[in-house]
Structure formats: C-alpha cells, structure tokens
Structure 1
C-alpha cells in the first residue's frame, strides 16, 4: 500500500509541474487561417497554380473597401473625402497598388497625342450627371468600382503576397484609421487580409467559449453523478489538466490552430470524462463491495484500464483516418485530435488513479449510493432484446436501408458564406459585395502560347477575346480583365472615346500600332497580365458564391468551350486560381473520407481480433458502429446539408468515439463468459456493470457536442448536432442490437 501511495504522490507532483508549464506555454499558441490549408495536396491543378503564381503572384492579394454614401456618391464633399482616402491608401503598409474611380481616367487621342479624361470630375459638380451616364454606358466600372445605383464606391487595394496574421492586422489598422480621419464611417471590407483577421478572432473566441462551456458541463454532470465534492474535484482536475497538457504540447510543437480548433476542448474534456467515468465507476464500485483501496485500484486497472486503453487507441485511429484527406487542415486536425486522445488517456490513468489512491475512502463514498434503479432500467432493456429479437433485427434492417437511401442524397454544393460567423460584420460585408458587386471568389484563366507565338500577337489576343466574350455570358462570372483591355481602351481613345469602339481593332496594322503605344503608356499595368517573355498571360475574373456543385458545371462548360472554340495550335487556356482549388477540394472529400474510414475499420478490426480472438465478435463489434456513420450521412442527405471539409470530420469523430461503447460492452461480456457463467447471465452482468457508464458517457457526449450550438461558426453548429444525434444512435444500437447478435451468432 505504501508503494502505491508513493507512486500516487509522485504522479501528482509530475502532472502538477507539467500543468503549470503548459499554462505558461498557452500564450504562445498560434492561430492561422489560410485558404491554402484546404487545397488538395498533390493535385495537378495545385501544382500548376503554384508555378503560375510564381510569375504573376497570388490571385487573392486584394482588399476591397466599399464606402457607402447617405444618398448618392455624386456629392462633392463625399467624393473629396473618398479621393483623399484613395491617395492615403498608397501609404498604408503592405499595399502595392490602389485603384478607384476618383483616381482613374480615360485615355483620349488628340492631334497633340494622348491626354487623360477623369472618370469623375470631382471639382465640377455640373459634370456629375454626364460622368454617371458615361460610366453606365461603357459598363467598365459598373459593379466593380461603383454599384449600379451609385450609392457606394470601391477602393481596390493590391496587397503584398502571403501576408501573415500580424501584417494583416497592421494593414487593416492603418486602413481603419484613414477611414476615420476622412470621416467615412459607413464601409464594407472584402479580401484575404480581412478574412484572416476576422476568422482568427473567431477561432480564439470559439476556443475560449467551448473550453468554458465544456468545463461547466462536465462539472455539472459529475456533480449529478457522484454527488461527493472530492470525487468531482478529482475528476475535474484530471480532465482540465489533460486539456492544459494538450494545448501546451501544441504550443511547444509550434502547431497552428485553424478553424476547427474549437473542437479540441470539447474532444479533450468529453473523451477524458468518458475515461474518468469508467475508471471511477469501477473503482468506487469495488470500494462499496468492501475491497481495500489497493485491491480496488489493481482490479480497476486490470479490468477497465485495458479496455479504456483500447478505446483510446481506437478513437485515436478514427481521428488518424483523416490523414487520408488531401486537405492539410483536415489531416492536421486528425493528427492533433489523435494526440489529444492519447494525452487524455495518459493523464486520466496516472493522475486520476494517483488522486484516488491518496484520498481517504470515506471521502469518496456517498452515504446514499443506490444503484438498484439503474439496474432495474438496464435489465428491462436486456429483457426487451431477449423477447423482441425479430422486431429489433427487422427495425435495424429498415433503418439501415433508409440511411443508405439518404446517404445517396448527399451533395457538395457548399457556399463559402456558410463558413463565416453568423450575424458578424464580415458576414454582412460578404453579403454586401455579393449583392452589389462581383463577389469574392477569384478565378483565373492561364493563357500559354505555343511555338513562337507571343501573348501580344494579333491572333493570340483574338483568341483571348473569344474567351472573354464567353465569360461575359455567364451570370456568375463578372469583372473580366485581361490584356485585351489595353487594346480596346486605345481603340476607343482613338475614336473620340465612343463606347461602340471598345473592341479589338479589326486590322493587324492598327493592332501593331497599339502595341507600340501600350509599351509607352501602360508598361507597368500590362506587366500585371503578361510575363516577361510574353509567353504567358492571365484572364482575371470574380465569381459569385453560388455553390461548389453549381460552379463545377460552370467550369465544365468553360472547358468544353475552350476545347471546341479556340485555336489550340497557337495557344492553350487553363482554368486556375485559389477559388477553383477550394471548389475542387470538395470533390476529394468523399473519396478521402471513404478511404480513411475503410483504413480505420481495418485497423480497428485487427485490434478487435487481438482483443476478442473471435471472428464472430469482430463482426458484432463492427456492424453497430457502421450504422451511425450511415445515419450521419443520411442526415446530411435528407436535410440537404452540403458535405464540405470541416463537416467531413463528423464521420471520423463518430466512428472513433462510438466504437468505445462497443468495446466496453463486449470486453465485459467476454470476462463474464470466461468466468464460466451462461450467456444470459453474462449479458445481465454486462448490462449491470457497464450499462450505467455507457449511458452516462453517451449523455455526456451528447450534451457536450451540443455546446457547439452556441458557436457562431455555422459548420460547427451542424457538426455538433450531427455528432450528438449519431452518438445517441450508436448507444441505442449497442444496447439493443449487440445482445441480439450475441444470442444469434455465439
């Protein structure tokens, strides 16, 4: 006994020190949000984009500021303040270029050469009406730099590539100061830096909220279960220390937390509590039966410790199955979660047992610990499975059939706005640009010439123009820009700035003349669209957020048009850009999800074989855990919830956690069978010994994941509901289907 006490005190000291060190390391936790986290790694389109962006830069290095006027933007005072903002913006850190209607002008060819005509004559109120009529007539800036009702103007900033979080915050801070200095208080923002700032703030808020909510939930449930303050304190201390150690470990390893970081506290607290409940229930039960603390702990570690280890391993395997995902953020979540589960197990086994060993018996046991009601309820469930096996089997078969039908209804028509915090400023800003302007999603078409052709050749530019005309026909695609803009603008400038001449010149001679003039007038701006060797160019567009499946149809039609209507002997066109890669990731989700779950099933199956050494028990253990996965898929299908990257983790979480109850149930059953009792007696004892812990832990998981209902992140709300409902379904199948299968197959 003294040896056990010594071990317990050492264990407490070690974890106390580790907990303190972890708490100090928390301030070093890193948060990030980068769209590239969701790109399908190794994909040929990603490799192409990475090479293409080396010459042209990324396609999301922009920040749009839409400033709203009280009535019309064509008011002198408003235009002056907005123009000053446009000038000030050039001095903002990490801004490389800026454009707005107050800084742009039309070129006009005169007998003395080219001159510039302001798009808006700021200081001449009498020309505002004419300026607005011209803007509407040519349509060049409509819904890109000014909305169709002239109630807002956009300042478009080009930022440095790949700004980190600190740089994004610095840029936005300087911008907001400039907006305030110019008394422009009604504005909307859109761009990568803005998303970075807002979504990292959301991650931090979610992590704090879920940590506090989960902790309170765990404490309340433990109080309800055990009543004794010291027992609740021991359990809570172990679980919170496990969470601290996990977050501290992530900090030390330099791991960056992404949008799914809010799940970590829930997983750690809920999974850790599950282990605590199983160990605590068995240990206290042994103390009640009269065992000494030493014998009770030895028996607990032998009986529950092994099954708890296996459940932790299987849960970790379930999370590790996410490594098959082509998205680095999903794969990282899987690895981190698997690590967290093992940290929770190690903490619970060592710290919980140490605290229990060093606590006097009388402080642990409640004077009124009546388990007869639990036994009565659980044994009535067992009797139902014995009396109604056909009903359970038929009902299960029908349920599985409905789930399979629902799973085939799953779609991937995910919209980006669903990932934005509900009711937030960034969500309302996103909606504003969706309705008033060309949206956020960037789409580029790479232009690659063949043989000795250049992108500035007459024939090649005409091929580019074909693509642009096709893009203009697609409602979801707006703000099309390419090298043709320079030729069309000069052609219009050479024809009294008439909109009818905003076309490519019809003759090669005129075109070659414009080529010479563009080199003099717009060399710097032209470089944004063509590379140094003039063998590559880009067509830039913006795409509305209409859903990934809908956009897939748009991309398919575009590729078909390119294949059948362009001269592939002189030039190739290829769709590229971050928006395309994000959309493409959705189509990898199903495949990687199935691959991961198959791999996890095989690994867990192997573990089950070693544990049970019985193929029939292997089948019995796997079947009830496949059903909740089908049910989760069916819910997505019937409720028409699009399957996307973050929601795909539901299946790994459900599979990894649901199998725990099955292992505890079958392990206990096998122990009783090994003691020589009959099958019916073994089932009765299993229901009495493990049923209470299974129900409690499942209810804990159910309410624990419902904490996500308080999330401002819509996918997290969906995930919380799906996991809660499917884990409850898993418990029902464990308690109803497993006994029937044991009677039929063993």
Structure 2
C-alpha cells in the first residue's frame, strides 16, 4: 500500500495547489489525478524492486534504503523529467485549456517524483522486509523468462535487429495512412443525446457548423449591383451541389423570391436582375416592412454583405477541401468586380484551426524529442548510449500511429496530446535499463555480463511497471466520453509496444554497438560506500 499512499499524497498536493490558484477541473484537468497516480506507481515499482535487491546483500533496512536512493534517484529523476518535458510541449499549442493542462501535468509529475523518492524509501524501513532469496538456500533458482530472452538476444542479436527494422518499416507505412481530421460527432457514441440532437438539427434545421462568406467593397451599394448579385447566385449554385452543404442563404434569395411574387410567375425567381433600379425598388419595398429581411445580410450603405452556408458535420478534412475550392471560385468571381472576400464562422475557423493546432503540437513534439534525447546524452555522458536509446522509443510511437490507422482513428488535437504524454512514458524503460547498464559497466563488468545483470535486476521492474501502466490507462476504456476512451487505448498500446521494444530491441542494439570494454568515464573505484548489491555482484558471472 505504500506506493498507493505515495501517489495519493502527490495527487492531493497537486489538486490542492490547483484549488489555491483558482484552476478549475475540466475535461482535460480531470485526467491529471489518474495520470499522476499511474505514473507515480511506475516509479514506485522500480524503487521497491531495487530495495528488495539491496536487501539480499545487507541486513540493514536503512542501508538498503540508502543504497536504493543512491542507485535510483538519477534514473527516476530522468524518467520524471522526460515525462514532464513531453507534457510541457503542449504549451506550444494555441488552446488555453491545453496550456493549463500542460503546466499542471508537467509540474505534477515532478511533484510526484519528489514525494515518491522522499517518502517511499524511508517509509519502507518501518516495515518488515520481504524474505530475501539468500535466506532460503533450499529453494532452487527460479526460471527467469526475461533473463532467458536476453541471453538468446545476446547470442544472436542481428535477427532481432533485422526484425525490428522490418517492423518499423511496416509501422511507418501504416502511420503514413493516418489522416488529419476531426468531426464534432467523433467525440460521442451514436446513442449519446448530443449525437442524436446534432443529427436531428442537421436533418430539420441548419446544423451546427455555420460558414460565413463576407463580401466588402469601398463603393456604396456596390454589393447590390446586378453583376455582384449574379456572382452570388453562381456561388450559391455551386455550394448547393456540394456534399456536406445543408443549404445557403443570401440577400439574393429574398430579392428573387419577392420579385417572383410581385410578377406572379414562380419562374421569375430564376431570372437574373436586369438593372440596379430593379434591385433598388425591391429594397425600398423591404425597408417599409416591420422587419427588413435584408438587414441581417446587407449593411445600409450596401458596402458589406454576407452569405450564410450551413455545413453538416462531415469532418475538418472534407470541410477544408470544400473551403479551398470555394476560395478559388470566390477569388475568380469577385476580384474582377472589385469586391473583397473573407471567410468566417465555425465551419471555417474550426477546420483551419484544427490543422494549425495539430501541426503546432507535432512541431512541439519534435522539439521535445530532441530535448529528451539530448538530456540522455548529457546525463549518461555518452553519445553512443544516447543514440542507442532512440530506436526502441521511436518504434512504439510510430507503431501507435499505425494502430490508429488500423482502428480507423484520425489524427487530431485530442490524439496528438496522447503522443506528448506517451513520449515521456516511452523512454522510461530505456532510461532505467541504460542507467543500470551504466552502473554495471562502471564496476568493470563486460558487456554481456552487464546486460544479463540488467535483465535480472531491472527487467522485472520494467515489465511490472509497463503492465501497471497498461492496466491503469486501460481503465479509461470504460469511460463514456470517446476522447478519454481513445486516450487510454492509445497510451496503453504505446506502453505495450515500448515494453516489447525495451526488452528486445534495446539489448540487441547494446550487444552490437555498445563498447566492447567499459569506457574510462564509466569506470568507478569500489569504495566502502558502494552499494552492497553492486559490490557482491562484482564477483558473479553468468554461465553461458
């Protein structure tokens, strides 16, 4: 229960701080508490695993806790910082809600680190330690599947590297099939009240996605000239033939219908206006009514007008295609007439803004990747280890994109957030593995021996923490809100792929390209203050 208590304290501190600064809970901030709990438990698992390992070499719980902090503080700090950097990348987006979520979650992760590393090791010393393996000599050595797998990888690394390259190529192909798109109704199940109401509004009314065509001229009454009204008619005819357009309304609709009523001939509604006097006469009639129907569409001086277009919820991608084609037609028809054109309305800003948000977040994600792996190079003091940590963490991210294609999910602002969070989580396993590898070769062990000890000491914690993350985020699949469902599913897929990549690809890469002998900067003289687990392990060697 100690890990749960540690992450509970972290969550209470973050939520209390949010209340103190006036931050409210919303659809994004609601994710922060479970996010901190799941991530905090992962660090706790690694601390407990190392504490148990240290207890196998000392009877002092305090000494074991001290050695655990000495060995794990930097690795856990790195995992927390990388996760925090991934979340902080959301600050590049233009949405205020994303900014707040990025700040809260990134700071919350570091608070969880401080609480976990400060509370858990000391708290464990107050409880009876688990029975160490060395106190049970009659128990045969257990079969460790992680060590068995690592041994086979070290014997024949190239088939695993080749398989990883082939799998990455397949993932890249699938990832390229993913489209950038977002529709309002993608956020709801088909039996949801909001989904049903929106469809009803589209069938019976004008829908919920307006697109406004704004016309402007410096010449008075220019927008009521027959040639301008004829251009508006052409645009409306084009729009009404497009899929996804529910209807259009403009000043010409009222003028044509009223003229047909006055002429007593319904077919007169399709005739173009012959002169400005004809239009002005109709306008004078409208001005005598209690409510001028042209008022919402044309200004009194005739310099500004608008055309209302009702769009169905066909998605941002289809809307952008329509908007681009419409923009070309508007420029071709109105520029020769000296009329300026602009587009507005949710149908326009929502579709264009989606692309801006998605590409902003992707750009910030790329920056976060460079920052994270740059930090690994600096803190591990090795370009080679930093570069070798990249492939095992790129594969899960690209694989998640391929999974989105298989599941028919689109890339939008909601799903891009997943990658900002997944980036920090993906490198956690590699960080713990590389940190332990650095520790082992620092004590003078050869490469294969060090990797087998990494598998025995850290491999189990990596598996347990990975499974914990998958189960924790998997709970979100039971949410009634579709974005939260996808959030949990995609992060679970990323963590699962990262677990396999860390256990298989990372050892194979280290086996082939890690130094044959421990680099000088990794060597460390053994002193009485060194970890008992590390000292006693120095005489052990794996049997081939």
Q: TM-score, normalised by structure 2?
A: 0.87
Provide, for residues 438-480 of structure 1, a one-character-per-residue CA deviation record: whole Å limited to 9, x for no partner.
Answer: 4321111111114455434444434333322322222421231
**1:255 aligns to what SS in structure 2?**
coil
Q: Which of 277, 280, 284 is 1:512 aligned to?
A: 280
Q: How does 1:526-565 map to 2 (within 5 A)?
A: 526-531=294-299, 534-565=302-333
Provide, for residues 704-745 of structure 1, a one-character-per-residue CA deviation record: whole Å limited to 9, x for no partner.
Answer: 111121012223322322221221111111111111111211
CA distance in 2, matches of 1:532, 1:338: 53
Q: Post-superposition shift, 1:366?
A: 5.7
Q: Post-superposition shift, 1:608?
A: 0.9
Does 2:488 align with 1:696? Answer: no
**1:410 aligns to what SS in structure 2?**
coil
Q: Which of 95, 98, 108 is 1:340 aligned to?
A: 108
CA distance in 1, matches of 2:142, 2:291: 81
Q: Post-superposition shift, 1:616?
A: 0.7
**Structure 2 spans left out of the alignment, 5+ residues:** 515-544
Q: Post-superposition shift, 1:515?
A: 1.9
Equivalent residue, structure 1, for 2:289: 521
Does 2:157 align with 1:389? Answer: yes
Q: Check whether the contact 2:226–2:276 (CA below 8 A) recurs between aligned residues.
A: yes
CA distance in 1, matches of 2:190, 2:103: 28
Equivalent residue, structure 1, for 2:542: none
CA distance in 1, matches of 2:492, 2:300: 56
Q: Check whether the contact 2:202–2:312 (CA below 8 A) recurs between aligned residues.
A: yes
Q: Which of 725, 731, 740 is 2:493 aligned to?
A: 725
Equivalent residue, structure 2, for 1:278: 46
Q: Check whether the contact 1:327–1:585 (CA below 8 A) recurs between aligned residues.
A: no
Provide, for residues 108-145 of structure 1, a one-character-per-residue CA deviation record: whole Å limited to 9, x for no partner.
Answer: xxxxxxxxxxxxxxxxxxxxxxxxxxxxxxxxxxxxxx
Equivalent residue, structure 1, for 2:344: 576
CA distance in 2, matches of 1:742, 1:486: 75
Q: Post-superposition shift, 1:637?
A: 2.7
CA distance in 1, matches of 2:60, 2:279: 97
Q: Which of 384, 392, 409 is 2:177 aligned to?
A: 409
Q: Check whether the contact 1:487–1:505 (CA below 8 A) recurs between aligned residues.
A: no
Q: How does 1:284-303 map to 2 (within 5 A)?
A: 284-303=52-71
CA distance in 2, matches of 1:487, 1:615: 73
Name which of structure 1's ranges 426-435 and 686-695 shifts more when overlaid on structure 2.
426-435
Q: Check whether the contact 2:358–2:413 (CA below 8 A) recurs between aligned residues.
A: no
Provide, for residues 459-517 of structure 1, a one-character-per-residue CA deviation record: whole Å limited to 9, x for no partner.
Answer: 44343333223222224212312223442343244235847547664332221112222
Q: How does 1:217-296 map to 2 (within 5 A)?
A: 232=1, 234-296=2-64
CA distance in 2, matches of 1:291, 1:578: 67
CA distance in 2, matches of 1:606, 1:414: 33
Equivalent residue, structure 2, for 1:598: 366
Q: Which of 359, 362, 365 is 2:130 aligned to?
A: 365
Q: Post-superposition shift, 1:578?
A: 1.6
When residues 254 and 540 of structure 1 are mapped into structure 2, their CA distance, relative to the original with a 3 A threshold, is farther
Does 2:514 align with 1:739? Answer: no
Q: Post-superposition shift, 1:643?
A: 1.0
Name which of structure 1's ranges 498-507 and 625-634 shifts more when overlaid on structure 2.
498-507
**1:474 aligns to what SS in structure 2?**
coil
Q: Which of 406, 413, 420 is 1:652 aligned to?
A: 420
CA distance in 2, matches of 1:265, 1:315: 15
Q: Which of 364, 383, 389 is 1:615 aligned to?
A: 383
The CA RMSD over aligned residues, in Å, is 2.6
**Structure 1 spans left out of the alignment, 5+ residues:** 1-231
**2:44 aligns to what SS in structure 1?**
helix
Q: Post-superposition shift, 1:342?
A: 1.4
Q: Which of 50, 63, 72 is 1:304 aligned to?
A: 72
Q: Post-superposition shift, 1:241?
A: 2.1
When residues 540 and 254 of structure 1 are mapped into structure 2, their CA distance, relative to the original with a 3 A threshold, is farther
CA distance in 1, matches of 2:468, 2:271: 67
Q: How many correspondences in the alignment? A: 511
Q: Post-superposition shift, 1:329?
A: 3.5
**2:223 aligns to what SS in structure 1?**
coil
Q: Check whether the contact 2:254–2:293 (CA below 8 A) recurs between aligned residues.
A: no
CA distance in 1, matches of 2:193, 2:417: 27
Q: Which of 210, 216, 237 is 1:442 aligned to?
A: 210
Q: TM-score, normalised by structure 1?
A: 0.64
Q: More strand by proportion, 1 or 2?
A: 1
Equivalent residue, structure 2, for 1:477: 245
Q: Check whether the contact 1:665–1:690 (CA below 8 A) recurs between aligned residues.
A: yes
Q: How does 1:57-72 map to 2 (within 5 A)?
A: none
CA distance in 2, matches of 1:522, 1:388: 88
Q: Which of 444, 447, 461 is 2:229 aligned to?
A: 461
Q: Post-superposition shift, 1:523?
A: 5.4
When residues 241 and 463 of structure 1 are mapped into structure 2, their CA distance, relative to the original with a 3 A threshold, is same
Q: Check whether the contact 1:414–1:549 (CA below 8 A) recurs between aligned residues.
A: yes
Q: Check whether the contact 2:87–2:420 (CA below 8 A) recurs between aligned residues.
A: yes
Q: Check whether the contact 1:492–1:503 (CA below 8 A) recurs between aligned residues.
A: no
